Structure 1
Amino acid sequence: MDHFLYRDGVLHAEDVPVPEIAAAVGTPFYVYSTATLTRHFKLFDEALAGMDHLVCFAMKSLSNQAVLKTLADAGAGMDVVSVGEYLRAKAVGVPGDKIVFSGVGKTAEEMKVALQGGIRQFNVESEPEMEVLSAVATGLGREAPITIRVNPNVDAKTHAKIATGKSENKFGIPISRARAVYAHAAALPGLKIVGIDVHIGSQLTELAPFEAAYQKVAELTEQLRADGHEIIRLDLGGGLGIPYARNNEAPPLPTDYGAMVQRTLGHLGCEIEIEPGRLISGNAGILVSKVIYLKEGEDRQFLILDAAMNDLIRPAMYDAYHDIIAVNQGDAGAEPATYDVVGPVCESGDTFAKGRAMDRVGPDDLVAFRSAGAYGAVMSSEYNSRPMIPEVLVHEDQFAVIRARPTYEEMIARDTLPEWLVSD
């Protein structure tokens, strides 16, 4: 469920008409719903009730500070994958003991910043990383809490570019080597083993891959405890998918996920950490765009929008499907039109949909891309020298711009000319 609904034929974001936002900020823009963000966080939090747990929002899906503050105020921790994300979380008041640092390529400088600022744990991905962290921690006179990410070689049955739990993926250490790697970690100064980390991929639409991975983690927990390691925390990553309104996709509910976690891991007495991103933010945001032209092709109609692949890269990069709807509904019973929906960037890849049936629209009409809150704004760019588009947060009948669109002058001024190109 989200809070983008039609009222009297006009799409609203909570209690705000979307055309009102468009008139104020121009198009294209992203808009997020506070009510949807907090509802989705609470669904996960309640799904793990009865277990000691922490829900950490995966910031890589949506890292605007207003969104982070909204979720932190609701009780969320944060999962970060760079020092920039770490500093964003700290900037909105998230305490270090609620921040988990993931990622395969943490640098010594990033480790230093997190150790000095406070960190719940590092999810260590390799032995070389573990050794660097040991050196950094001892150099600072600190102790770094760690989990080690294991790769269970489980097929997540998701898009190849977002699968992370197979042996061919770059993430984690082979689970078959886990006992040896944990023994190595225990021998290194400055490290404190606190648990195990696993994450098998994103946009999973069934529970079976999770359960297969978690059963392996349960077995490993028993083995590591027998080896003398204190395993008090299990970081299960994220990955539960959302419905993108195609083929009647119906991913499992958080309650079903929570019941499965309890069934497979509840007997171990560990604190459970999960790191959902897409399921919290995906359906909490839409991308709003304006039609520039309706162009007649030889055998199709092209709907040319002012949004482009640099604003929403997912269709070009992942062949991702987004429901595209008219902001002002057509007449009831009117025949839909079929369009190839494209942007203005000079790339054939700047195509959002082909042969898409939708309400008939024309120049200057507004359309909205549903399920655009995750991996939308965070992956946008200024390709073709197109300024980054605004982000807007709605709360009931209020809205605020939470990232402004830069002017062309501001965008161009970020470049500098070397001395030899500056004329006298």
Structure 2
Amino acid sequence: MDHFLYRDGVLHAEDVSVPEIASAVGTPFYVYSTATLLRHFRLFDEALAWGPHLVCYAMKAASNQAILRTLAAEGAGMDVVSGGEYARAKAAGVPGDRIVFSGVGKTGAEIRAALEGGIRQFNVESEPEMQAISDIAASMNMTVPITIRVNPDVDAKTHAKIATGKSENKFGIPIARAREVYALAARLPGLRVVGIDVHIGSQLTDLSPFEAAYRKVADLTETLRADGHAIDRLDLGGGLGIPYTRSNEAPPLPSDYGDLIRRTVGHLGCEIEIEPGRLIVGNAGILVSKVIYVKEGEGRDFLILDSAMNDLIRPAMYDAYHDIDPVLEPAPAAETRPFDIVGPVCESGDTFAKARQMPPVGAGDLVAFRSAGAYGAVMASEYNTRPLVPEVLVNGDQFSVIRARPSFDDIIARDTIPEWL
């Protein structure tokens, strides 16, 4: 469910009409719904209410500080994967004891910054990384909590570029080697083992891969405890998918996911951490664009928009589907015809949809990309010297620009000309 609905024939973000925002900020732009963000976070929080838990929002999905503050005020933790994300979380007022640091390539500088600023735990991905954390923590006379990410070799049945739990993926250590790696962790100074971490992929629409992975984690917990390790936390990752099209069957609900966690690992008495990102923010955001031209081609027609692959790269990178709706509601009996929906970037890959059935739209009309809140603005670039898209947050009948569109002068001023030129 989201809060982007037609009212009197006009698409609204909560109680604000989308054309009103477009008039104020120009197009294209992202707009997020506070009500949807909070609803989705609370669904996860309620799904784990049966035991101690922390819902850590996966910041890589959308990391604007206004979004982070909105969720942190509800008690959310943060899952970060870089020093920059850690700095963003701290700037948004998130305390260190609610920040989990994941990622396969933590640098020495990132590790040190997190130790200085406070961290709930590092999710360790390899033995060399474990040694680096140990060395830095010991040099600072600190002891840091860690979990070790195990790779359970479970096929998440998702897109190859967002699968993370198979043996050929770069993430974690093979679960078959977990005992020896945990034994190493117990010997290293500056480290305190607190649990196990697992994350098998993103946009999962079936609970069976989660169940397979979590049952392996449950068995491993018993084994490691028998070896003398204190396993008090289970970080079970994220990955629950969202509906990107109205015609698809709805993915499992957070309540179903919470029941699965309870059924598979609830008997272990561990604090549960999960790291949802997409399901919290995906349907909480849309990308609004304007039609520049309607172009008739040879055997196909095109809608040329003012948004492009640099603004929303998911269709080009993942062949991802987004519903694309006119901002002015079409008549119920309006005829549709197929269009290739494209942007102005000089790449054939700058295509959002092919042969998409659309109701009548013309130059100057606004369209909305649904379910664009996750991996939209955060993956945007300035390719073709196109300014980054502004972000807007709506709260009831209010809206605020939470990231402004830079001017061409702003972009060009970041270049530095060598003296010899």
Common fold by TM > 0.5: yes
Q: Given residue 29 of structure 1, which amino acid in structure 2 is its aligned partner?
A: F
Q: 1:60 aligned to 2:60?
A: yes
Q: Is the 8 A contact 1:286 1:369 kept in 2?
A: yes
C-alpha distance in structure 2 between counterparts of 1:128 and 1:255, whole Å: 38
Deviates more, 1:125-134 or 1:354-363: 354-363
Q: Is the 8 A contact 1:246 1:321 kept in 2?
A: no
Partner of 2:222: 222
C-alpha distance in structure 1 between counterparts of 2:145 and 2:247, whole Å: 43
C-alpha distance in structure 2 between counterparts of 1:386 and 1:317, whole Å: 18
What pairs with 1:181-260 in structure 2 (closer than 5 Å)?
Answer: 181-245=181-245, 247-260=247-260
Partner of 2:92: 92
Partner of 1:13: 13
Q: Given residue 213 of structure 2, which amino acid in structure 1 is its aligned partner?
A: A
Give CA-to-partner distance per residue, 1:335-394, whole Å, 9 cap, x none.
122210000000000000001112210000000000000000000000000000100000
What pairs with 1:101-140 in structure 2 (closer than 5 Å)?
Answer: 101-140=101-140
Q: 1:370 aligned to 2:331?
A: no
Q: Given residue 335 of structure 1, which amino acid in structure 2 is its aligned partner?
A: E
C-alpha distance in structure 1 between counterparts of 2:317 and 2:248, whole Å: 22
C-alpha distance in structure 1 between counterparts of 2:351 and 2:117, whole Å: 43
Q: Is the partner of 1:419 in helix, strand or coil?
A: coil
Gaps of 5+ in 2: none
C-alpha distance in structure 1 between counterparts of 2:141 and 2:306, whole Å: 54
Partner of 1:310: 310
Q: Is the partner of 1:316 in helix, strand or coil?
A: helix
Q: Is the partner of 2:73 in helix, strand or coil?
A: helix
Q: Is the 8 A contact 1:195 1:233 kept in 2?
A: yes
Q: Structure 1 runs of 4+ off > 3 angstroms?
A: none
Deviation of 1:247 (Å)? 4.7
Partner of 1:149: 149
Q: Is the partner of 1:106 in helix, strand or coil?
A: coil
Indicate how the Cα distance of structure 1 residues 5 and 247 shifts in structure 2: closer, same or farther if over 3 A, else same: closer
Deviation of 1:411 (Å)? 0.6
C-alpha distance in structure 2 between counterparts of 1:249 and 1:416, whole Å: 51
Give CA-to-partner distance per residue, 1:307-347, whole Å, 9 cap, x none.
00000000000000000000001222111222100000000
What pairs with 1:254-403 in structure 2 (closer than 5 Å)?
Answer: 254-403=254-403
Q: Is the partner of 1:74 in helix, strand or coil?
A: coil
CA RMSD of aligned residues (A): 0.6
Give CA-to-partner distance per residue, 1:134-170, whole Å, 9 cap, x none.
0000011111110000000000000000000000000
**Identity fraction in percent:** 77
Give CA-to-partner distance per residue, 1:209-236, whole Å, 9 cap, x none.
0000000000000000000000000000
C-alpha distance in structure 1 between counterparts of 2:316 and 2:37, whole Å: 26
Deviation of 1:299 (Å)? 0.9
Partner of 2:170: 170
C-alpha distance in structure 1 between counterparts of 2:129 and 2:329, whole Å: 54
C-alpha distance in structure 2 between counterparts of 1:381 and 1:342, whole Å: 17
Give CA-to-partner distance per residue, 1:244-276, whole Å, 9 cap, x none.
016513210000000000000000000000000
C-alpha distance in structure 1 between counterparts of 2:230 and 2:329, whole Å: 58
Q: Given residue 415 of structure 2, which amino acid in structure 1 is its aligned partner?
A: D
Q: Is the 8 A contact 1:102 1:122 kept in 2?
A: yes
C-alpha distance in structure 2 between counterparts of 1:249 and 1:54, whole Å: 29
Q: Given residue 394 of structure 1, which amino acid in structure 2 is its aligned partner?
A: V
Q: Is the partner of 2:341 in helix, strand or coil?
A: strand
Give CA-to-partner distance per residue, 1:36-92, whole Å, 9 cap, x none.
000000000000111110000000000000000000011100000001100111111
What TM-score do the two structures reach when normalised by structure 2? Answer: 0.99
Aligned residues: 421
Q: Is the 8 A contact 1:329 1:359 kept in 2?
A: no
Q: Given residue 27 of structure 1, which amino acid in structure 2 is its aligned partner?
A: T
Q: Is the partner of 2:150 in helix, strand or coil?
A: strand
What TM-score do the two structures reach when normalised by structure 1? Answer: 0.99
C-alpha distance in structure 2 between counterparts of 1:7 and 1:396, whole Å: 14
Gaps of 5+ in 1: none
